[in-house]
Structure 1
Amino acid sequence: MWQQFKDTTKQYYIENSRLQEIIFFLQNTCLVILLMYVHNTYFRMKLQLRILL
């Protein structure tokens, strides 16, 4: 009984850590994409401003 509980808990923690790794990876990916998008937009706006002025 206790052994099974320990095994289940261990399994849960292993899966949980894997899930957290995936979440962390996704958050990082989203952040990078967002940063690139903002940077590109900013760059484009700067170029357009330079053309306008």
Structure 2
Amino acid sequence: MGRANERKQREQAALSPIPSDGIDVEFSRELADHEDLEAQARAKAADERARKRSGE
């Protein structure tokens, strides 16, 4: 059981890290459709609400 745990830890360590800022650098406004733009607006509104709540 110990060997399996060590191997699993090595495999997980080899994975590339996910950016913590959450920004998708591959997003292109030129290629975005209406649904993408709506999702961006909803995300921006949610970020503003979260910022207001954390500031209170």
TM-score, length of structure 1 as denominator length: 0.45
Greater share of helix residues, 1 or 2? 1
TM-score, length of structure 2 as denominator length: 0.43
For the pair shown, the structure with the greater C-alpha radius of gyration is: 1
